[in-house]
Structure 1
């Protein structure tokens, strides 16, 4: 088994390269970078997907993904929102040129255990943020919320479970980002396997979920996909958000290494505190 301990962010940043002891941005990966070996999404296929364009205090723009969980709320990665002053959100989009909705927000809530001050230089656990939309969005065939992983399954072993990731991540390291939304199958990994793959890295904690290539070794998330959804089609025929896209190996996105995501089921108490809404749920008997 290959074993590399360096981890990189999946956020797409404009002209920034920052190194740390055990983490670096995806631009520093030494291999081609994209949602690799996936497919172009069809209209309405992934209606919970958000596109984020974030602006920091210097005017630098970066891009991430996110998920709609309520008419007024979304989830993304904390390293996407940390130290940003505003962001433009697109919803109901396959092509970024033709979103159903486009609006601006400046209000977000990073998890209190996430350290914004080192967000630009170090991959961290608890890499999850809540977005406040500043408006109430109207749902349609192209714009829908996704169910959040329940707290009962927060420690589930997803080893071998088929999952789906999506985003507008770049099609090549430092290359052009795709106009159209891409998606890919991934296969869930146990946390034990993921820790071993990353040499016991402290980044892999209980609230981490990892996933590897499903049937082609290059399948993965990558640059620009941060904050986007990792979902499972459950037995009741509904999709559930089981992960928020966070990191990959510094060796590159298409190498045979797990990608890392944050399990939202761990954070229901915090989400309730921030939003005043209980997103937790109990599976029906037989699920």
Structure 2
């Protein structure tokens, strides 16, 4: 990893795991000065604005606590990053939550599944296939604060989102090594092509087909940060629906708020695995617009004929009006 020139680190907040080598990255805020940043340079969410977002607190066998995000994809299932749940013994989930002190629901589970190509023994090392599923110990009920998000379909799994406006959310640090907020934050990001992202990270093998990268949208410091791992990256899809196209996985060790993009995992690559683990088919096919029946078209044409005849009656009325002054 050191030979890449630009290092990458996981973006979970950890009470037990630190950076592997703190000397390998700098903190640009020391020279730029601090700002009133959010997720990084984002905004506080309104109550119910992002109802698919979950807050996770994972506990390790030695009592270490890690904070991450996740998204609701089913009344019994959530989607997150594998490095969030790897080697953990229990997961505390807050749902329907914007302010961490006031969740609509809070419960615990010990059942999670990480992708088989993800190596849990290398949890502190950034890897591809950083994706996991969490099974709730209950069926959650949807309301205005708790709703699922639609996942990217397999048809669009390799779609180039370069230049698209995306949105990330979470309770991650508001600056590199900064504080974590109680209120969920969100930020707009701009999609990057995998080719450009790979180049920006020195040709790193971490950037694979199932990776999606995103850079700042309109402020150079916008990004995800420590504690946002596992959270959703979404887009307004072609049909107008919010669709999750990424799972927060990593940022550059040069800092959360630098010009280098953040990295996410594309869920569209993993529908076969989702089906194998859950028994649920989360894949979907875009629906073509339904053409209007012929009978309705005929009725519409008849209506147009009536409409075009109306102005003749109006002209007669105008003639009567213009004749009145002569009397």
For 1:258, the equivalent position in structure 2 comes to 261
Higher Rg: 2
For 1:7, the equivalent position in structure 2 comes to 8
For 1:30, the equivalent position in structure 2 comes to 27
Q: Does 1:41 align with 2:38?
A: no
Mind listing any 5+ residue stretches in structure 1 that lack a counterpart? none
CA distance in 2, matches of 1:175, 1:217: 17
After superposition, the C-alpha distances for 1:260-285 in whole angstroms (9 at most, x for unaligned) are 00000000000000000000000112
Q: Which has the higher strand share?
A: 1
Whether the aligned pair in 2 keeps the contact of 1:166 and 1:230 (CA below 8 Å) is yes
Aligned length: 278
TM-score of the two chains, using structure 2 as the length reference: 0.82
For 1:275, the equivalent position in structure 2 comes to 278
Quote how far apart the aligned CAs of 1:238 are: 1.2
Whether the aligned pair in 2 keeps the contact of 1:190 and 1:210 (CA below 8 Å) is yes
Whether the aligned pair in 2 keeps the contact of 1:34 and 1:173 (CA below 8 Å) is no
Q: Does 1:201 align with 2:198?
A: no
Q: Does 1:107 align with 2:104?
A: no
Quote how far apart the aligned CAs of 1:235 are: 3.0
CA distance in 2, matches of 1:188, 1:130: 25
CA distance in 1, matches of 2:141, 2:197: 39
RMSD, aligned α-carbons: 1.7
Whether the aligned pair in 2 keeps the contact of 1:34 and 1:253 (CA below 8 Å) is no
TM-score of the two chains, using structure 1 as the length reference: 0.93
Match of residue 60, structure 2, among 15, 31, 56 = 56
CA distance in 1, matches of 2:26, 2:121: 23
Mind listing any 5+ residue stretches in structure 2 that lack a counterpart? 30-36, 290-327
Match of residue 144, structure 1, among 140, 147, 158 = 147
CA distance in 1, matches of 2:84, 2:78: 13
After superposition, the C-alpha distances for 1:183-216 in whole angstroms (9 at most, x for unaligned) are 0000000000000000010100000000000111
Secondary structure of the 1:66 match is strand
Quote how far apart the aligned CAs of 1:30 are: 2.9
Quote how far apart the aligned CAs of 1:237 are: 2.3
**Matches of residues 173-188 of structure 1 in structure 2 within 5 Å?**
173-188=176-191
Q: Does 1:223 align with 2:226?
A: yes
Higher mean Cα deviation, 230-239 or 162-171?
230-239
CA distance in 1, matches of 2:112, 2:177: 28
Secondary structure of the 1:266 match is helix
Quote how far apart the aligned CAs of 1:236 are: 2.2
For 1:242, the equivalent position in structure 2 comes to 245
Whether the aligned pair in 2 keeps the contact of 1:4 and 1:197 (CA below 8 Å) is no
